[in-house]
Amino acid sequence: MSDLLRGFGLFLLPLCGWLAGDAVQAKTAQHLAALQRTIELLQRIRQEIQYRRADLQSLYRQLCHEDLVPQIPGGTLQQLPAPEQLSAAERACFTECFCGIGRAEAAQECERLSYYTARFEDYLQQARRTAQRQAGLPHRLGLAGGMMLALLFL
């Protein structure tokens, strides 16, 4: 009976390693998605300011209603929290961008939003290159780590 449990445990170690690698890839996918959503949000805000000259409070309420931004009681676009999936540098850029919204006239604001959109597009391209270089690597490393542990327990 103990040999059966030991064999089952040895089988589970590589599986757990594979799943750990899967978690790393899922985190990478969430990071890429957060960057893409940030770019789309910046483009949308720029479009609303450029064409509709929307006031920021009504724009914030509209974006909350469409579930594009989290609704914070008494919140504004300037208080918008950065997505957790972003890196520290990306969160700092997000905060810098959104804290400054509404402090310039429409044309300057559009230029500013275009600048931040370009920065986030650069972040996205870098993240995609990194993800392509590491494609499949987390699974293989997790599986190899699990196999090594299984061999140690043999």
Q: Does residue 23 contact residue 139 with C-beta atoms inside 8 Å?
A: no
The two tokens of residue 3 are 């040999």
Q: What percent of the chain has pLDDT over 90?
A: 38
Residues 81, 140: Cα–Cα separation, whole Å: 35
Q: pTM of the full predicted structure?
A: 0.81
Looking at the structure of the chain, the number of domains it has is: 1
pLDDT of 141: 66
For residue range 83-97, list pLDDT tens digits in order: 999 999 999 999 999
- Three-class secondary structure of residue 83 per DSSP: coil
pLDDT of 9: 64
- Structural domain containing residue 13: 2-153
Query: Which pLDDT band holds residue 107 (cuts at 50, 70, 90)?
Result: confident
DSSP class per residue in 89-152 = HHHHHHHHHHHTTTSS-HHHHHHHHHHHHHHHHHHHHHHHHHHHHTTTHHHHHHHHHHHHHHHH
Q: Does residue 54 contact residue 48 with C-beta atoms inside 8 Å?
A: yes
Check residue 53 and give left, alpha or beta (phi > 0: left; psi -120 to 50: alpha): left
- Check residues 139 and 80 and name the one with the higher pLDDT: 80
Query: Which pLDDT band holds residue 103 (cuts at 50, 70, 90)?
Result: confident
